[in-house]
């Protein structure tokens, strides 16, 4: 499919969604916030200060701050964990069960326990969110580390490549697709947990706003906040991740137009 056709399909899907939304708002007004009402609410959110006199970007910024700080911590910790598991059979047999157990703990429980341990402030979030995301990153990187090509490692050893050269030229490029996949899943899981933390524990951020308008049963405003953050995540995907992915994966024969999958 050429670029124009792809673009047209995207536009068509957005138009269809808006039409369905509008129809839903007219036929089921108690359940679906109306499209015009949501638009009005969105304009209000974007132009007037909300609770505590903060504009929308204050809350969005706070959420982003917590989300991305957690992502950085989780990417580092998860990569170390995954590579350790993938490269050492001893560690794998010792830790594998616990990684799966860790994955099985509901995020809600982690958030609640953090609040009890640490308190109802942002520190709980900075503790709980990386704790939830790290095993997902670890699982991905584990798979990546298990698939490292021993033949290439042998080639590098034969030519006498040092540790640094082996790491940057042999290991990292093989892990790159897994790093991207990890980051994408960490981002999508992480932002949901961030909202949970903000909704339950904090008085700022996008999650707090959801909670506040949920209490007021104000569906159109909740919808506006959802739109703001979803738009932000789409911008991150198409504006940063996809171009970066395409650049890093330039060598692949089908690199033209790396498809966004998640």
Partner 1 sequence: MTAAEEATVASENGDESGETLELRNIVKTFQKPGQGQILVLDEVDLDVEAGAFISLLGPSGCGKTTLMNVVSGLIEPDGGTMRRGGRDVSPDDLSLGYIFQEPRLLNWKTVAGNIEFALEARDVPEAEWDERIERYLEMVNLADEGDNYPTRLSGGMKQRVAIARALATEPEIMLMDEPFSSLDEITARDLRQELLDIWNREEKTILFVTHDINEAVFLSDYIYMMNTDGEMFARRDIDIDRPRQYDDPDIAQREAELYKEFHEQVVD
Q: Which is nearer to partner 1, 95 or 161 (CB)?
A: 161
Instruction: Tell me if 123 sits within 8 A of 131, measured CB to CB.
Output: no
Binding to partner 1 in span 40-69, by CB under 8 A:
none
Smallest separation, CB 60 to partner 1 (Å) = 36
DSSP reduced 3-state for 153? helix
217 contributes a contact to partner 1 by CB under 8 A: no
- Asked whether position 169 contacts partner 1 by CB under 8 A, the answer is yes
Q: Is 156 in the site for partner 1 (CB under 8 A)?
A: yes
- Least distance (Å) between residue 151 CB and partner 1: 5
Number of shown-chain residues binding partner 1 (CB under 8 A) = 20
Should residue 179 be labelled a site residue for partner 1 when binding is judged by CB under 8 A? Answer: no
- Structural contact between residues 198 and 153, judged by C-beta atoms closer than 8 angstroms: no
In the chain, count H helices and then E strands.
Answer: 12, 0
Q: Which parts of 124-153 interact with partner 1 (CB under 8 A)? A: 151-152
CA–CA separation, 172 and 145 (whole Å)? 10
Nearer to partner 1, 106 or 162 (CB): 162
Q: Is residue 165 part of the contact set for partner 1 (CB under 8 A)?
A: yes
Segment contacting partner 1 by CB under 8 A, of 24-32, 135-143, 167-175, 192-200 = 167-175
Note whether 159 binds partner 1 by CB under 8 A. yes
If one asks whether residue 106 binds partner 1 (CB under 8 A), the answer comes out as no
Q: What is residue 30's three-state secondary structure?
A: coil
Tell me the angle at which helices 56-87 and 89-104 cross, rounded to the nearest 10 degrees. Answer: 150
- Rounded distance, CA 218 to CA 51, Å? 14
Q: Which long-range contacts (CB under 8 A, 24 or more apart) does 239-248 make?
A: 241/180, 241/183, 241/184, 244/180, 245/180, 248/176, 248/180
Q: Per CB under 8 A, does 247 bind partner 1?
A: no
Report how far apart, in Å, the C-alpha atoms of 256 and of each of 43, 55, 183, 252 are.
38, 41, 22, 9
Interacting residue ranges for partner 1, rule: CB under 8 A: 151-152, 154-162, 165, 169-170, 173, 176, 250-253
């Amino acid at each position: 499919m050429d670029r124009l056709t792809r673009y047209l399909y995207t536009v068509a899907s957005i138009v269809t969604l808006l039409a369905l939304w509008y129809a839903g708002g007219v036929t089921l007004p108690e359940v679906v916030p109306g499209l015009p009402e949501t638009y009005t609410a969105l304009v209000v959110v974007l132009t007037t200060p909300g609770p505590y006199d903060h504009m929308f970007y204050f809350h969005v910024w706070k959420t982003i701050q917590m989300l991305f700080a957690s992502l950085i911590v989780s990417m580092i910790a998860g990569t170390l964990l995954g590579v350790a598991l993938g490269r050492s059979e001893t560690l794998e047999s010792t830790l594998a069960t616990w990684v799966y157990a860790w994955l099985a703990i509901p995020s809600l429980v982690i958030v609640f326990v953090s609040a009890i341990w640490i308190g109802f402030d942002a520190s709980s979030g900075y503790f709980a969110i990386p704790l939830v995301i790290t095993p997902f990153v670890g699982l991905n990187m584990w798979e990546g580390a298990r698939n490292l090509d021993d033949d290439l490692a042998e080639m590098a050893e034969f030519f006498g490549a040092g540790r640094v050269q082996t790491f940057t030229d042999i290991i990292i490029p093989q892990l790159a697709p897994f790093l991207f996949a990890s980051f994408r899943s960490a981002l999508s899981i992480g932002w949901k947990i961030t909202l949970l933390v903000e909704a339950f524990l904090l008085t700022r951020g996008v999650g707090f706003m959801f909670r506040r308008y949920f209490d007021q049963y104000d569906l159109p405003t909740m919808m506006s906040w959802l739109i703001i953050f979803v738009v932000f995540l789409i911008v991150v995907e198409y504006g940063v991740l996809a171009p970066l992915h395409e650049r890093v994966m330039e060598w692949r024969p089908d690199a033209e137009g790396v498809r966004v999958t998640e």
